[in-house]
Amino acid sequence: MSKIVTDILLTKDPLSMNNVISKISHPACGGLSIFVGTTRNHHDGKKVVKLEYECYSKMAKKQIQLICDDTRSKWPDVQNIAVHHRLGHVPVMDMSVIIGISSPHREDAISASKHCIEKLKANVPIWKREIYEDGSEEWQENKECDFGKT
């Protein structure tokens, strides 16, 4: 019997799709769902050249683990979950986050991966600064995040 895997990675190194696929692959699973978030080249009419991510690593990993646990409670057939998030500078078109989930059937894998990214954006203390072509920069708040809101 294959061991269930939860792989959480916060790194300044470029992310690897192949690494995520190897972490979530499971012999009983016919559905692998992967969400990839990349740095886009614009925001609010400004040309973005890169993003910079920072986090409180210990708290971020704890929150990601809670999201993975919650995901498994909602989709009990989910086998393996990988949540890899890049820190530091992430140039345009580079991957900033990869979420991979395996399940025996595609419907659960797809639904669970959507749930994971939405919960990550709303609950995990990872902060993003946009660096623009003109040299200016601005910290961006996740619209989904409710930190400090009353």
Q: Is 114 helix (H, G, I), strand (E, B) or coil?
A: helix
Report the alpha-carbon distance of residue 93 to residue 65 in Å, rounded: 27
Question: How distant, in Å, are the alpha carbons of 12, 20, 38, 104, 139 from that of 107?
Answer: 32, 19, 24, 9, 35
Domain membership flag for residue 109? yes
Position 34 in a domain: yes
Cα–Cα dist 61/64, whole Å: 5
108 Cα distance to chain centroid: 18
**Which residue from 21, 2, 4 is spatially nearest to 98, judged by alpha carbons?**
21
CA–CA distance, 41 with 98 (Å, rounded to integer): 19
CATH no. for residue 35? Answer: 3.90.1170.40
What is the band of 91 on the pLDDT scale with cuts at 50, 70, 90?
A: very high
Count of domains for the chain: 1
Check if the beta carbon of residue 76 is closer than 8 Å to that of residue 91: no
Whether residue 29 lies inside any domain: the answer is: yes
Confirm whether 147 is domain-assigned: no
**38 part of a folded domain:** yes
pTM of the predicted protein model: 0.93
CA dihedral 6, 10, 12, 16 (to 10 degrees): 20
Per DSSP, which regions of 13-80 are E strands?
A: 31-38, 42-43, 46-55
Report the pLDDT averaged over residues 54-62: 96
Taking only the tens place, the pLDDT of each residue in 5-26 is 999 999 999 999 999 999 999 9
Query: Which pLDDT score is estimated for 73?
Result: 98
pLDDT-derived band at 141 (thresholds 50, 70, 90) equals confident
Q: Which domain holds residue 97?
A: 6-139
* Contact between residue 93 and residue 86 where contact means Cβ atoms under 8 Å apart: no
Residue 145, in any domain of the structure: no
73 in a structural domain: yes
In a domain, 122, yes or no: yes
